[in-house]
Amino acid sequence: MPTVNARGNENQHVPVTAVIPPGIITPEVMIDVDVLDRNIARMASATLARGLRLRPHAKTHKVLEIAERQLAAGAVGLTVATIGEAEVFAKAGVRDIFIAYPLWVTAPRAERLRTLAESSSITVGVDSAESASFMGQNLGAAAGRISVLVELDSGHHRSGVHPDDAPAVARAAADVGLDVAGVFTFPGHSYAPGMPLAAVRQEDEALRRGADGLAAAGFPARTISGGSTPTALLEGETAATELRPGVYVFGDAQQLELGRCGTGDIALTVASTVVSHHRTEPGEPGRFIIDAGSKVLGSDRPAWASGYGRLLDHPDARITALSEHHATVEWPRGLPLPGRGDVLRVIPNHVCLTMNLVDEVAVVHQGAPAGRWTVAARGRNS
Amino acid sequence: MPTVNARGNENQHVPVTAVIPPGIITPEVMIDVDVLDRNIARMASATLARGLRLRPHAKTHKVLEIAERQLAAGAVGLTVATIGEAEVFAKAGVRDIFIAYPLWVTAPRAERLRTLAESSSITVGVDSAESASFMGQNLGAAAGRISVLVELDSGHHRSGVHPDDAPAVARAAADVGLDVAGVFTFPGHSYAPGMPLAAVRQEDEALRRGADGLAAAGFPARTISGGSTPTALLEGETAATELRPGVYVFGDAQQLELGRCGTGDIALTVASTVVSHHRTEPGEPGRFIIDAGSKVLGSDRPAWASGYGRLLDHPDARITALSEHHATVEWPRGLPLPGRGDVLRVIPNHVCLTMNLVDEVAVVHQGAPAGRWTVAARGRNS
């Protein structure tokens, strides 16, 4: 049973497998920097080998030190979701940022975009002629310093236009002086069992059709941007010129259950203490409570998921219920329960939510503490 | 259509109903302080009328200014979920704090409890003889300055012991010098349609049985603590001497859909901008995207809920999907959609998660801006 007894100070001396470094006060987000670096290198070389640019989505980690590693490994810039995130990374010296969101650019937002464009190359998503015109109007003379990518709906049915409607949006953007750089899409429907292959085909079809339409309307696409973690490592022909995966840096229980990563690729876990045992009837599976709840794991739980996350060292355990500070773990029948005070490593379902819940993370290098990183863009929702 | 056009600066002049004060950059959590004060006063007088003490759960709001209002209205102290939350409120001068959690008190946690007990009366939850002994051992001579309440499982089946097992836990606590103050339970299974009445009966039965058992074992209960927002305002006989509701200060979509509050009791909403319209087929309900996602609303969604929250001013709309920065709103058939740039007020499903996502909130008084509050205990998970 590869758990660690963390009763008081004893855990500095008796770990069976040294997975929990000393000094961790649970619940605590831990980043295994060795796995992180391997994930960053693998995605960088895979996209390079396909001749694609890599623009990782930094909303996943929100950490300057991780962005630096991605850029050092060859990423052309970063993707973010909000102006606030762009501000954090631009201030830290990132010079090429795509805000992959159909912003409604009011006067105060226009002012912030103008300031960002003074230091960095800024691209913004747009998915209607109306929002393009409104953005241009509020940006005024600065419109020419902001590039836009027209967002396409490739089957996720969230934001984005039908590819056939992309030229009209591009025309409205150009009319107000914005630089039309191309198209982008997010194949979010790839986050389901069996979907990555279908989603990547739909993504490719939408990008190709959108880019062709733009070219025919006089806006040849410099950038054709796609990609999510489930689809980014799939091979084959693509219309895309760049990919924007985010979750690949850490992996999570969703990716694991979709078969898009293995347990050896999991770089982020939440150290959690067993605090309570359930009284169960003979023959029932064992159940206990750990001190990681929705306020550190996040409560995303797709219908196809096995539960509210997984335990890295106990693949047969299931997390069957989640409150703010409690997770209920169902343990395989017949196996002895971990003791109260034992520390387990939880893989959250969705790491983007986990990172947005904590101000700092503990960095682990070869099983030993290696400092702390600040989640610099945490909570920058606007 | 009581929405507000927030295009640029115009919204300072043209609101039809002045629900969104100027200066709000969406998504933004807004607290209506008038509704908040009414909710605080109502719960205070209802518990007083029943002869019960009120110890509100501050994990819901994590805000010093709100704790002050609760204490000024007669609360005897606060409930919190973690040592970190206790530290924030103790530092601000709160002198009576119950950490309603079965803590596993390692040496570092014992040190923090000792420090807390220097300034405040500190009570901690305990639900096993083993964790009581371990806590006492690490507290050493300070054990006598910490009180414990034995946690009972009243049907929620999370942490807590069967009431018949409470005396053994109390005995173990007393053996290591802890002050045994009584029992507590959380009827979390009251958060389901039709459950509040059944849950309150089970809660009462568990508290009565647990307290009787303790008394028979020589530990008469000074405190018999129960109560959740769905059950706290139910009337009738109770074994409890104090209640610990949390959500009542704000209300949320869960409470609304359970019938435990009305729209007039909703003190917290998230101002959100319409950023994208879906292309829908004739006859389909309209759909659009607003800029509040799981990173500001939280993604709790009980199976019985209508969706991922509600719109305060549009009771017939449904929030059918949620990503990190997008919510998909389904609009009643035949009604014109709100325009892009319109600002809507979202009621989150679970306000405790929403408050834990933001560092600050905008305070609104009689529809006008009234400053900002810091969410002082945000993220204090350990």
pLDDT of residue B227: 81
In a domain, A259, yes or no: yes
B24 occurs within a structural domain: yes
A259 and A356 in a single domain? The answer is yes
Question: Quick one: B235 and B258 in the same domain?
Answer: no
Q: Are B255 and B229 in contact (CB under 8 A)?
A: yes
The CATH number of whichever domain residue B11 belongs to comes to: 2.40.37.20
Query: Please, what is the end-to-end C-alpha distance for chain B in angstroms?
Result: 45
Say if residue A220 is in the same domain as residue A330: no
Question: Rounded to 5 degrees, what are φ and ψ at B330?
Answer: -100, 130
Count of structural domains within chain B: 2
> How many angstroms separate the CA of residue A127 from the nearest CA in chain B?
7
B179: domain CATH number is 3.20.20.10
The ipTM estimated for the assembled molecules is: 0.94
Is pLDDT above 50 for A8?
no
List of chain B residues whose C-beta atoms are within 8 Å of the C-beta of residue A131:
275-276, 340
Nearest to B102 among A138, A276, A323 (CB): A276
> Within a domain: residue B37?
no
Does the beta-carbon distance from A353 to B128 stay under 8 Å?
A: no
Among the candidates A245, A277, A307, a domain finishes at A245
Residue A276 has its nearest CB partner, among B25, B127, B277, at: B127
* Chain B hits for A134, Cβ within 8 Å: 7, 340-341
List alpha helices for chain A, DSSP H: 33-49, 64-72, 83-91, 107-119, 129-139, 166-175, 195-216, 229-232, 253-257, 294-297, 351-355
Q: Does residue B63 sit within a domain? A: no
Query: Of B107, B277, B298, which is closest to A299 when you measure between CB atoms?
Result: B298
- Give a yes or no: residue B22 inside a domain: yes
| pTM assigned to the model | 0.94
CB contact under 8 A, A340 and B130: yes
| Averaged pLDDT for residues A2-13 | 34
Q: Please report the pLDDT score of residue B362 as a whole number.
A: 97
Check CB contact under 8 Å for A299 and B295: no
The distance of A365 to chain B (nearest Cα, Å) reads: 23
Asked whether residue B124 falls in the same domain as residue B259, the answer is: no
**What H or E segment, with its residue span, contains residue A98?**
strand A96-102
> Which residues from A are below 8 Å from B324, CB to CB?
59, 81, 352-353, 356
User: Is there a single domain that holds both residue B237 and residue B101?
Assistant: yes
B55 within some domain: no
> Taking chain A, what is the end-to-end CA distance rounded to the nearest angstrom?
45
Q: Which of A155-169, A185-199, A206-220, A278-292 has the lowest mean pLDDT?
A: A185-199
Alpha carbon dihedral B321, B323, B325, B328, in 10-degree steps, equals -20
Parent domain of B366: 4-31+253-374
Contacts of B291 in chain A (CB under 8 A): 101, 104, 382
Position A304 pLDDT exceeds 70: yes
* Cβ contact, residue pair B299, A300, below 8 Å: yes
Q: Let me know: does A346 contact A269? Beta carbons within 8 Å.
A: yes
B242-289: pLDDT as tens digits: 999 999 999 999 999 999 899 999 999 999 999 999 988 888 889 999
Q: Are residues B367 and B258 in the same domain?
A: yes
Question: Which of residues A266 and B281 earns the better pLDDT score?
Answer: A266
Residue finishing a domain among A229, A245, A261 = A245
Residue B108's beta-bridge partner residues? none
Residue B298 has pLDDT above 60, yes or no: yes
Name residues whose C-beta falls within 8 Å of residue B311's C-beta, 6 or more positions apart in sequence.
Answer: B317, B319, B329, B344, B345, B346, B347
Inter-chain residue contact A106 with B323, CB threshold 8 Å: no
In a domain, B203, yes or no: yes
Q: What's the confidence (pLDDT) of residue B5?
A: 36
- Verify that B108 and B160 share a domain, yes or no: yes
Ranges A117-126, B90-99, B152-161: which has the least confidence: B152-161
Same domain, residue pair A154 and A206: yes
List the single residue in A6, A162, A357 with the smallest CB-CB distance to B379.
Answer: A357
Of B212, B245, B278, which residue sits at a domain end?
A: B245
Q: Compute the nearest-CA separation of A71 from chain B (Å).
A: 24
Rounded to whole angstroms, the Cα distance separating B51 from B238 reads 10
Residue with tokens 């009328």: B49
pLDDT tens digits, one per residue of B352-364: 999 999 999 999 9
Distance from CA of A330 to the nearest CA of B (A): 12
Clarify whether residues B132 and B181 are in a common domain: yes
Same domain, B123 and B239: yes
Name the one residue in this structure whose structure tokens are 């709000």. B24
My answer on whether B104 and B239 are in the same domain is yes
- Asked whether residue A42 is assigned to any structural domain, the reply reads no
Cβ(A223)–Cβ(A181) under 8 Å? Answer: yes
State the best of B295, B356, B361 to mutate against chain A, taking most chain A CBs within 10 Å.
Answer: B295
* Tens-place pLDDT, residues A68-124: 999 999 999 999 999 999 999 999 999 999 999 999 999 999 999 999 999 999 999
Q: What's the mean per-residue pLDDT of chain A? A: 92
Cβ neighbours for A172, distance < 8 A, ≥ 6 positions apart: A128, A129, A130, A132, A133
